[in-house]
Amino acid sequence: MFGRKKSVPQIDKEQLELIENAQKRIKQKKKLYIHFVIFLIGSVFLILFNLGLGFGKDFKPLETHWFVFAILFWLFLFLYHAFNVFITYKFMGKEWETQQLNKLVAKQKARIEKLIKSLPSDEALIEKAQASVAINSEKKKQELTIIVAASDNDAIGKHNKLIWHISDDLKRFKSFTNGHHIIMGRKTFESFPKPLPNRTHVVITRNLNYQVPEGVILVNSLEDAIKACSQDSQPFIIGGGEIYKQAILIADKIEITRVHESFEADTFFPKIDPAVWKETANVFHEKSDKNDYSYSFLTYERR
């Protein structure tokens, strides 16, 4: 229990080899440096021997003091030494470099093989792509569109009535929704004097005994309302506040008439988040005899 712990090597073989080579390299450079210092001191001594002490004073090959040849010869030896250190044994030797390169290539090959194995097969990828195309085309079949008129402060109604009269907005509503399913909350349905012509009304209520005229579809949730429109390529959510709040989370498009005024109201349109919705059309209209306020026709599409 209290016996000596067996020392576990902290570095692997390759690291050890690297350290040894680095140490060898440092030694080589140190030796070269010492050689250089000795060469400098030695040269001074040779000059002193020859000129100062007169040693071999009469020996002058090619009319030159012998110390010049001695220093030149030593310089040649020093340069040869430096050549060996910096050129011949460049870094850790050619063989060592090739060895390291081969090791690296082998490691990369193993890694690539592992990656290839972890990738899904071609068949799986094709299956996945086909499934996503099928889902998208199914979704594309239907463009769930919110249609609304809201003021600058998002007001849409008061006392279960619209607040303003903008004739062009009513025309726009008619031309968009003509021939389509229109989905609405029970309260909005009750705000109409009678069902609108040439449109299929889908009314949402929690009241299972609610009575509607013939031709009007009654459902108990927004999901069921959308299901009831499965044959329509563009069903419209026409309000009111409660239904817009739920539908904005799943709709594909918003056609909004923005009335440029602020109103007191009891029902509001939810905020349009620019991170979710992209404005794709914006046409401004001045107020006129037929339209009490200036307004803009805007289109938003889900990003």
Ligand X SMILES: NC(=O)c1ccc[n+]([C@@H]2O[C@H](COP(=O)([O-])OP(=O)(O)OC[C@H]3O[C@@H](n4cnc5c(N)ncnc54)[C@H](OP(=O)(O)O)[C@@H]3O)[C@@H](O)[C@H]2O)c1
CA dist 86 → 45, 61, 79, 83, 109 (Å): 28, 34, 10, 5, 33
State whether residue 201 is helix, strand or coil: strand
162 contacts ligand X (rule: CB under 6 A) = yes
The answer to whether residue 149 forms part of the interface with ligand X (CB under 6 A) is: yes
Stretch that binds ligand X, among 67-75, 107-115, 187-195, 281-289 (CB under 6 A): 187-195
Q: State yes or no: residue 99 binds ligand X (CB under 6 A).
A: no
Does residue 207 interact with ligand X by CB under 6 A?
Answer: yes
For position 291 contacting ligand X by CB under 6 A, the verdict is no
The pattern of x and - marking residues 243 through 272 that bind ligand X according to CB under 6 A reads x--x--------------------x-----
Q: Are 182 and 164 in contact (CB under 8 A)?
A: no
Q: Which amino acid is at 230?
A: S
The secondary structure of 133-167 as a DSSP string is HHHHHHHHT---EEEEEEETT-EEEBTTB-S--BH
**Taking CB under 6 A as the rule, does residue 201 contact ligand X?**
no
Rounded Cα distance between 272 and 276, Å, is 8
Q: Does 235 bind ligand X (CB under 6 A)?
A: no
Out of 46, 148, 166, 254, point to the residue binding ligand X (CB under 6 A). 148
Q: Which of 221, 230, 231, 280 binds ligand X (CB under 6 A)?
A: 221
Q: Does 220 interact with ligand X (rule: CB under 6 A)?
A: yes
Nearer to ligand X, 71 or 201 (CB): 201
CA distance 259 to 6: 83
- Rounded Cα distance, 177 and 229, in Å: 13
Q: Which one of 51-59, 76-84, 217-225, 226-234 is the stretch in contact with ligand X (CB under 6 A)?
A: 217-225
**Smallest distance from the beta carbon of 204 to ligand X, in angstroms?**
4
Q: Which residue has the tokens 């090619």?
A: 62
Give the position of tokens 């026709």. 297
Can you give the binding site for ligand X, defined by CB under 6 A? 148-149, 156-157, 160-162, 184-188, 191, 204-207, 220-222, 238-243, 246, 267
